[in-house]
Amino acid sequence: MVLWVILLSATAFLFRPDRHLGLWIASVIVLATALFAICFAKGETPRWRWGESNGHGTRSSSERLAELDELHRRQLISDSEYQAKREEILKGL
C-alpha cells in the first residue's frame, strides 16, 4: 500500500494535473486497476454480504449453541453473557 501511495504521488508530480490532465487520469486508472487486481488476487474471496451480517444464517442453531457452550466451558464469556446469547439463539428457532 505504501508503494502504491508513492507511485500515485510520483504520477501527480510527473504528470501534473494542471498540465497533463489526460496522462494523469490514465496513470491513476492504471494504478487503481493494478491495486484492485492485487487485492482481488491476494485478498478474501468476494462474496455477497447483504443480509445477516453476524453469520448466523450460515450455521445451524445447534452449531452456534455448541460454540457458545464451549466458550462458556472455557470461561471466555460470563454467565450472564452466556444466558443472553443462548436465549437469542433459541429465540431464532
Kindly write down the DSSP assignment for every residue of 58-73, as one continuous string: GS-HHHHHHHHHHHHH
Higher pLDDT, 49 or 35: 35
77/71 Cα distance (integer angstroms)? 6
Average pLDDT value over all residues in the chain: 86
Looking at per-residue pLDDT, the higher value among 77 and 57 belongs to 77
Full-model pTM: 0.48
The answer, yes or no, to whether residue 61 has pLDDT greater than 90, is no
Confidence at residue 57, expressed as pLDDT on a 0 to 100 scale: 52
Residue 52 reports pLDDT greater than 60: no
The angle formed by the CA atoms of residues 18, 21 and 22, to the nearest 5 degrees, is 165
The answer on pLDDT for 53 being more than 90 is no
Cα-based distances in Å from 28 to 16, 24, 40, 53: 12, 6, 18, 33
Question: What pLDDT, on the 0 to 100 scale, is given for residue 92?
Answer: 79
- Report which secondary-structure segment, H or E, holds 28: helix 21-42
The pLDDT of 18-44, averaged and rounded, is 90
